Structure 1
Amino acid sequence: GESYLFMTNGHILRREGGISEPTQIIEFDKYAVDLDRFEAKTAGPADLKPRERYYDELVNPDPNSSAYKAEPGRFRAELHERFSSALYPLAFVLLAIALVGQAQSTRQNRHARMGFCFLAGVGLRLSGLAVNNIVVLHASFVPVLYLIPLTAICVSLFLIARGTRPSRGNAMLDKISESAAELWASLMQRFSRRRGVAAPAGSRS
């Protein structure tokens, strides 16, 4: 009923006095150390923390458990944290596809989107951990634990669906660019006529 550590073929360095006392070296073939003397004596088995318990122990906790009596909200928060945390990997993948997976024209825009995606993921998970601490005190915040990753999933799916559709923004930008080019060519022609210089060929392209 006790715990021991058995060692063989070793040496023990022992100093019983202060620093000035010489160190004693003891060689042994077999040596046993009582481990129970290093642990505090308790009346019964150690009470596990909520994070160390199985699912059924969180759903139906022992009413005589000292940990459950002290903080019953910890059991509730741990139970819902295990279910809600399974949604975050899906949210992170969809978030990366929505923000970084879309076609980009320049490398700078992609780097900016990668940085924003990283910050969004960190903020998303930290907000879930913060709400988990609130659930310990208030059970009414349990739906928020699931709402945070589900909202990120829905927003990411919306952005992905929007990115796959043909956008009118590029066509509008092309029209603006063409109009600006025509205006610049017209101004150059007027300036050339005033100075008596012929406009360069292809200036209206």
Structure 2
Amino acid sequence: MHLPSLRVLAVLSVTALLSACSDEISSDEQARRAYLGLDKSVEKSLQLGFAGFNAASSANIPPQSTTGDAGGTLDITGQVDQGSSANKGMRLRVGMKGYTDGEVTVAEEEAPVEITYQTTTDAAAQPALTLSLRDIPNGTFTGTLVGSFQMTGDIEGEVTLNLSLSGQIEDDGTGKVRRKAGSTTVTGTAKSSTGGEFQVNVTL
């Protein structure tokens, strides 16, 4: 039986090693993909927050919920300032259970990824969505979304968001307040448990 030479084996080993390295995803790229899977949920969280604000009859907003595009739930709970002031704040929590918006295309030349997200069931430890409304109903808002989400699927581990939000608010025509579409800027970071970081800068 003919055995391959040591030189051939060495070449094959190096080729396999280079191929494996080329298939690896950097930690920063993992963080980018982890955020892209959550991107739609940021806008959904804002919509639910404003729905809770409009429905509140006490400091605690009625819990608001929606589903992921492909499965799971997104829940918003928390408190809103009371009184007649035109400036009010909201202190909300973002809860997820098996949440996924399905496949996300990260780039035309790359295969899509699908990630499912989960948060702790302890509301006090869930990601915090804090909003400050000014000159209600036709004014502005600022806020932050800070906290961690557990991931399973094409990427596993944890992603931590530290986002700043700002935009305009308006009367929805019925005397209630809504976020003015296309006016919201989201900036900040998404950090993965592998040490990667993605700089977020989007408009909703």
Task: Confirm or deny a common fold (TM above 0.5).
Answer: no
| Structure with more relative contact order (C-alpha pairs < 8 Å, separation 6 or more) | 2
TM-score by length of 2: 0.23
TM-score by length of 1: 0.23
Point out the structure with the larger helix share.
Answer: 1
Greater gyration radius: 1
